Every structure is written in structure tokens, then in C-alpha cells.
Amino acid sequence: MQRSDYLSLFEAGKARFVESWKEYVRIPSISSDPAYAPDCQRGAEWMRAYLERMGLKAQVFPSSGQPLVFAERAGDATLPTLLFYGHYDVQPADPLAEWTNPPFEPEVRDGRLYGRGALDNKGQTMAFLAGLETVLQAGTFSAPLKVIIEGEEESGSSGLFDSLQTEEWRKRLRADVLLVDDSEAYAPGIPAITMGLRGIIHLSVKLFGANFDLHSGLHGGIAPNPAMALARLLATIHNPDGSIAVKGFCDTITPLDEETRRLLRSAPFDQEKYEADFGIKALGGERGFTPEERLAFRPTIEVNGIHSGHGGPGQKTIIPAKAEAKITSRIVAGQDPVRSLALIEEHLRAHAPEGLRLVIDEKGGVHRALAVNPHSGLLKRAARVLEAAYQHKPVYLWCPGSIPIVVSLVEALGAEPLLVGFGLPEDRMHAPDESFSLVQFRDGFLYACLMLEELSLCKA
């Protein structure tokens, strides 16, 4: 079917689609706060029922965390099996006073639905599922389909992570294509395909000195200072040119190929806008790489926080007893997260100051980067579909952030990922007055219809 056919079906179903979307948003399924556990359960049950009404076989499974919703539908076994991933949980809604309507009493104003989760991920999920319902009713979709809607994306995905450790769940979720609808478009009217995600690892570095804060006069000149020593230790992590000085850290990074460079040019970094938006010059990272390259294809080691000694108003003449820094590193294609963490730790131990006790802990994350194959047929088909839906060629985005569960799904299932989303910066994701416009909802619907139909045509 054509874009215009699906558009007519959208107009016909719109009131019903929006009603369901609002129902879903009304459930305060905040996963990070145990007080909302019953609402998470309710969110899962609501989604199960919704998927069932659509004709899928749907179940709610308990997990080590919030329940998981799984649904499936058999299809033409010669076609690739699709797995759609989404999450029913949402961010906390505070500060409540900054919302125009209460966050869990969704309201349409000026063509936008406002509410917590209106975009992330309830809006995007409901747009996709409205498309799925439409192609199912129109008979234009025939591939085998699975749906996994988890309930802890906003708080670490531990239930799904743990489930993926079991053969049972890996078998249950087995698929050829992983469809994720949790990212952003490039701009209103300009679609985007997310080509990569950086991986992440984190750790904490602590230096301990005396048993208590020492008088900086009486001990200054004999007691090593953990705050100063930590500053010196952190200063060894980068070279003067901004590159990472950790030995071996960058050795295995996958080099950029020509196709990647070509796709990278589709979304040039706007330095002026960046500096105006954030009030900071884009001078971070390594010399010798463009901002686009630094964001997508170069790793980082960032201090997220450093704390030691006195911090209030006025002076306190002490040599602090300890100092601590929190560190996260973003890694890129070709870097093994476990090895990367070990190399950082090795570096810190090799440069540790004399006379102080070094403790490296809170080690974790260890999630690999995601790299979509720029030569993939799936990618080319998605690009054609997006151009048909939007009547504008997509741009290719590399997300410098990390979505560890997506990477784990890809790794555990061996599926090829396709990350297409319709969010925009003005949607205020995670903030008060989160919203998703009906136009974006329709964009997501159109993409789902055309892509699901496309994936029913042939295997390649």
C-alpha cells in the first residue's frame, strides 16, 4: 500500500489510537521508585491486553526486576523474524510543580499530547503498535513477529538483562531483526537512522590519607594530600592534545571506512548552535578529529564528579583525609569493555601516588558499543521507507550515549539492529511537560506501516 493509503487509515483510527495512548500514559509506571511497583505491574498487564486485542499471543512474565511483557505472532517462516523492543516504564515526574497538566493526566494541547511517557517510550511504542495493528488488519504484513516490552529501561533494565542470561529467554526472543523505536528524528520533517551507540564502563577512584582531616598548617609539607594527589592522578589520564594516555586503550578501535564517512556527512555538527545552546565551547576531546568523529568514533574518559574535603562557604584549613572521583568512559566499536576497564585500572595503579591508599571500586557498566553495518541491506530498505514516509531522505546519526540493553539484545540474539525514532529536543524527554506531537506520532505510525510491509516482501 501507499503512504496515502496508510495516512487515510491513520485519520480513520486516530481518535482510537490517541485514546489508547492516553490510557497507557495514565499509568504511573515509574520503575525506579518501589512505591510504584503495582503501577509497573498494571502497565505490563495493560500492554499485554492491548497486544492480545491486536491478535498477538501475549504474556506477562515475572523477572528479577519489573515484569516483562512478551508477545508473538507466527508468520511466513521464509521471512526474517522481527523483534520489537520497547519499555512501559517511565522516568519519575518530579518536579511536579513545573507541569502544566498533572503528569499522569495526559492532555492534548496545540496538537501535542502532554504527560510523563507521552514520548519516552509510551508514545513511540503506541505509534509503532498503531502501525502494526493497521498492517495486520490490512493484510500487508506477514513476517514472524515478536514483541518485548520491558519495565526497567529507565532504571537499568536488570530484569531483562538477567533474563537474557537464560537459554529460555534467548530462545524466546530469538530474531533476525531488532526494531527499536526509542531514539530521535533529526528535525521536524527530517527522519534519522541511529547508526551506533557508544559503550560504557564506570568506576570510582578513591585515595585515602590520614585517619581524619589534618590541620593544613601543622601537617602541610609532610602529609601527602589526597585531594592534590587525586588531581595529579586524574591529570595523567589524558595527553596534552586531549587524547587518552591509557596504554593500549585506543589500539583496537575499528577504523572508519569510506561509507561510514559518507553517511557521517549527512548530519554535520553545528558548532555555533551547540555553543549557543549549552553555553560552552566545543573544545573537548582529541585534537585532530572533527566534532562528529569525536562524538561517534572516539572514546572518552570523563570525571563525573570529584569530592574531597571542605566545600562550603569560607575556608577550612585542612588536608582532607580522602578524595574520590567518579569516572565513566564511553567506548567505541572495536573496544572490549572488560579489557578497557582493566586498562584504565592498570593505568591508575601504575600512576598511584606514594604514601596514600588507592581504592578502585564501583566498577561496572562494561557495555560494548553498537555499530550498525553501513553496508547492510536492511539499512538501505529502512532508508527508502523513511524517504517514502517523510518525503525526505534520512540522515544518519551516531548517538554518543549508550543504551546497554539494546547492545545486549543484539549480542544475545544475534539480531541485526534497526534504530529509528521520532523524538525531538522540544519534546522535553525526562523533564516536566514531556510531550509528543500528533505529527510525530503519525510519522512513527507511517514508518511502522511501511517498514513492516517492506519486511514482508522478501528476505534480503
Is 195 one of the binding residues for a copy of itself (CB under 8 A)? Answer: no
Is 92 one of the binding residues for a copy of itself (CB under 8 A)? Answer: no
Is 361 one of the binding residues for a copy of itself (CB under 8 A)? Answer: no
Is 276 one of the binding residues for a copy of itself (CB under 8 A)? Answer: no
Is 334 one of the binding residues for a copy of itself (CB under 8 A)? Answer: no
State the minimum distance, in angstroms, from the CB of residue 133 to a copy of itself: 33
Counting every residue written for the chain, the total comes to 460
State the Cα–Cα distance between residues 174 and 164, nearest whole angstrom: 11
Q: Which stretch binds a copy of itself (CB under 8 A): 171-179, 325-333, 338-346, 412-420?
A: 325-333
State the Cα–Cα distance between residues 317 and 321, nearest whole angstrom: 12
Question: Backbone dihedral region of 459: left (phi > 0), alpha (psi from -120 to 50 degrees) or beta?
Answer: alpha
Residue number with CB closer to a copy of itself (147 or 295)? 295
For residue 87 the three cell numbers come to 519499555
**From residue 338 to residue 357, what is the string marking binding to a copy of itself with x (rule CB under 8 A)?**
----------------xxx-
- Residues in contact with a copy of itself, counted by CB under 8 A, come to a total of 76
* CB distance 145 to 79 below 8 Å: no
Is 32 one of the binding residues for a copy of itself (CB under 8 A)? Answer: no
Among the listed residues 2, 171, 211, 460, the single contact to a copy of itself using CB under 8 A: 211
**From residue 378 to residue 407, what is the string marking binding to a copy of itself with x (rule CB under 8 A)?**
---------------------xxxx-----
Among the listed residues 247, 307, 375, 392, the single contact to a copy of itself using CB under 8 A: 307
Three-class SS state of 218: coil
Among the listed residues 34, 95, 139, 221, the single contact to a copy of itself using CB under 8 A: 221
Q: Does residue 239 have a cis peptide bond before it, meaning omega lies within 30 degrees of 0?
A: no
Per-residue burial over 35-65, b if 16 or more Cβ lie within 10 Å, else e, is ebbebbbbbbebbbebbeebebebbbbebeb
Residues facing residue 330 across a β-bridge: 200, 300
State the Cα–Cα distance between residues 454 and 459, nearest whole angstrom: 10
* CB distance 92 to 30 below 8 Å: yes
Among the listed residues 216, 408, 435, 440, the single contact to a copy of itself using CB under 8 A: 216
Among the listed residues 1, 190, 228, 245, the single contact to a copy of itself using CB under 8 A: 228
Among the listed residues 109, 215, 265, 393, the single contact to a copy of itself using CB under 8 A: 215
Residues 234-273 interacting with a copy of itself (rule: CB under 8 A): 234-235, 237-238, 269
Q: Which stretch binds a copy of itself (CB under 8 A): 157-165, 326-334, 336-344, 447-455?
A: 326-334
| Residue whose entry in the numeric block shows the C-alpha cell 572516539 | 298
Comparing CA positions, the residue from 452, 446, 451 lying closest to residue 10 is: 446
Helix (H), strand (E) at residue 147: strand 145-150
Is 101 one of the binding residues for a copy of itself (CB under 8 A)? Answer: no
* Other CB atoms within 10 A of residue 457 CB: 12
State the Cα–Cα distance between residues 63 and 66, nearest whole angstrom: 6
Tell me, what amino acid is at 266? Answer: S
Among the listed residues 3, 174, 326, 428, the single contact to a copy of itself using CB under 8 A: 326
Is 360 one of the binding residues for a copy of itself (CB under 8 A)? Answer: no
State the minimum distance, in angstroms, from the CB of residue 184 to a copy of itself: 11
CA angle 129, 38, 132 (to 5 degrees): 5
Among the listed residues 13, 75, 92, 291, the single contact to a copy of itself using CB under 8 A: 291
